[in-house]
Amino acid sequence: MCGISGIYNLNTESIDPKVLMEFTDSMLHRGPDASGYELLDQNSLGLGQRRLSILDLSESGKQPMYYAEGRFCITYNGEIFNFLSIREELKSFGHQFKSDSDTEVILAAYMQWGPLCLKKFNGMWAMAIWDELNKELFLARDRFGIKPLYYIHEEGKRFVFASETRAFKFLKSYSRRLNQQLLNLNLADPYAIEGLGYTIFDNILQLLPGHFMIVKRNEKVVQRRWWDINDYKVEVPNSFEEQAEKFYEIFRDACRLRLISDVPVGTALSGGLDSTAVYSTVYDIIQNESLGRVNKDAQRAFTATFKGLAHDEKEYAALAAAYTGGPITFLESDPYNLASRVERETELCDFINNAPISSISSVYEGMRKNGIIVSMDGHGVDEMLYGYRDMVYSLYNHALWNGSYESAKSYESVLVELYHPQQRDKVKTRFQKQLSEKHQRESSLKFKLKRVIKKGDKNMDYLPVELPPLSDKPYDFSARSVDERMVYNEFFQHTLPALLRNFDRAGMINSVEIRMPFMDWRLVSYIFSLPVSSKIGNGFTKKIVRQAMKGRMEESLRTRTYKVGIGSPVEHWLNGSLKEWAMDTIDDKLIRAEAELSLKNGDTWSAKQVKDIWQSINLKLIN
């Protein structure tokens, strides 16, 4: 896991090594263990890397790395979890290896199969490979965009890439500017543009997930799709019980593969269904299987606690650990340096979000302080299996809109369970009233059908403007049914891409790699091949996970439905310990005046005011 960079002067001008170094070293936090810088193609191409050593900690694993007597050179961020089996296959073709790293396997695979090698890989990556013979730069990103890759393309002049948008602030002769239209879209919806390959900055784009591109002088640069979810539907068993067993078989292997590491591994455990499933499975694998290149201490769990706040899940994490009998470390947040921490993390993250990422990053900070370099996490499940309340609301409203009252009642039973037990009776009453008042229901539903149910629905239907597609084959899920379209949009284009970005930054600003077993492409393909009835119903979201984990994790957590978010309590902070700091930091005159007026009247800041205040601060900190 690393921070990678590259500068390719298409006009053949030589690169100043100091420019490459400064550009690369702006991502020191992504790779504190080593650095590397190489000039190629008569010094017109520079590749850089900051290394976080995970596999082959020796000098042999250092990047940029050469292969085939210098024909290929790579800078790469990520992990190929099945590299050992690929290496054995490559040996049968006569390839030889000098290191124990997955990086060298990528180079040999690219030499053997070209871009088709990507389909061999099970992992997460953003990579750039220079081919000296063909004079071309190949860039590729993993299927789901777990690892980031940003670039600018100044036609005829240069092509520049990096793991973070922040790095471009340190690129000489480049003036980074906000794009007002894209910024407005992001302020209105922080998930709106990430999955489409755009950023809030002028001309800084992303290589899309599941895409590659080849940069060559005097040739057009095109993002080409190499992986399409529509091509990977698989056969699933008929019975739900058999589906769940197959699910667990793939999931367990995904966990097993992601335990390969030459550094300590731990689990970020919240006590929710997803992270507990990962933790319990990892613990069982380590206790009961004979494994090779795996850190035996990987059964350790780490939980961030927030005493007195609603999103503190310490008691649930403790139950998960008690079930396995494994060690758990509770990480208490430090209230005394919160302002400086929020400032640092927001500046390093370099995006606009609903709240600081401090609650997320605190667990990785604590893990790193305890010697953990790799974290096993449970991300990706909610978007595939209707885990968010607003997704279920959309299904419920759509059923009512179409007069499918039986389906609506089924979704209602799921929705009720997603609320806190003390709120459920009130919620039930509200649903019953809505069902009985037909006219009011039909008039209000027009405003409640979210994202996936609008007329003329396409993959960008939640945007007020249409952004030009960056892909040669952009996703379009408009022909799918509403219930299918929802999870496809959430996973591939709306919510998940932004969350993956957030977690990449939260881990990497603390120099911790995050691995996600639920994001194994085999498991994703399997889940998207399942019928909706295996995903939601009978009072539950994420049905297939719950069935698969029966008897394999703590039962009350397996059946627990009330969902607690992991976002930072920004309203609590700004009305409390960060109030004075916020007033000193706001630079929008109108927002400041309104905030001061509320304080003079003895009021607390409303949720809307907090949102406006935070966005103003967020924007100031990244400028």
Measured distance CA(497)–CA(520) in Å, rounded? 15
Q: Taking the chain, what is the end-to-end CA distance rounded to the nearest angstrom?
A: 27
Cα distances from 24 to residues 41, 51, 191, in angstroms, run: 19, 11, 27
- Phi first, then psi, for residue 613 (nearest 5°) are -65, -45
pLDDT of residue 433: 80
3-state secondary structure 447-487: CCCCCCCCCCCCCCCCCCCCCCCCECCCCCCCCCCHHHHHH
Q: Are 37 and 9 in contact (CB under 8 A)?
A: no
Percent of the chain whose predicted confidence (pLDDT) is above 70: 95
pTM, to two decimals = 0.94
> In the structure, what pLDDT confidence band is assigned to residue 292 with cuts at 50, 70 and 90?
confident
Element (H, E) at 212: strand 211-215
- Token pair of 39 as six digits: 């000039």
- Token pair of 278 as six digits: 């990962």
pLDDT of residue 258: 96
User: What are the pLDDT digits (tens) for 449-491?
Assistant: 444 444 334 444 556 678 999 999 999 999 999 999 999 999 9
Q: What is the torsion angle, in degrees rounded to the nearest 10, for the CA atoms of residue 495, residue 499, residue 501 and residue 507?
A: -170
pLDDT at 434 over 60: yes
Domain ranges of the chain: 2-227, 231-381+495-532+544-558, 384-487, 570-622
Rounded to an integer, the average pLDDT of 414-442 is 80
Give the domain 231-381+495-532+544-558 fold: Rossmann fold (3.40.50)
> In the structure, what pLDDT confidence band is assigned to residue 516 with cuts at 50, 70 and 90?
very high
Cis preceding linkage at 468, omega within 30: no
Indicate the average pLDDT of the chain.
92
pLDDT of residue 453: 43
pLDDT of residue 53: 94
Rounded to an integer, the average pLDDT of 525-554 is 97
Q: Are 519 and 229 in contact (CB under 8 A)?
A: no
pLDDT of residue 439: 47
User: What are the pLDDT digits (tens) for 172-214?
Assistant: 989 999 999 999 999 999 999 999 999 999 999 999 999 999 9
Measured distance CA(332)–CA(370) in Å, rounded? 13
Q: Are 20 and 37 in contact (CB under 8 A)?
A: yes
pLDDT of residue 456: 36
Q: Are 378 and 277 in contact (CB under 8 A)?
A: yes
User: What are the pLDDT digits (tens) for 395-404?
Assistant: 998 888 888 8
Window from 220-229, 316-325, 438-447, 594-603 with minimum mean pLDDT:
438-447
In three-state secondary structure terms, 9 is: strand
pLDDT of residue 440: 53
* CATH code for the part of the protein at 2-227: 3.60.20.10
Percent of the chain whose predicted confidence (pLDDT) is above 90: 82
Residue 133's contacts (CB-CB under 8 Å, 6 or more residues apart) are 71
pLDDT of residue 437: 67
Rounded to an integer, the average pLDDT of 16-27 is 98
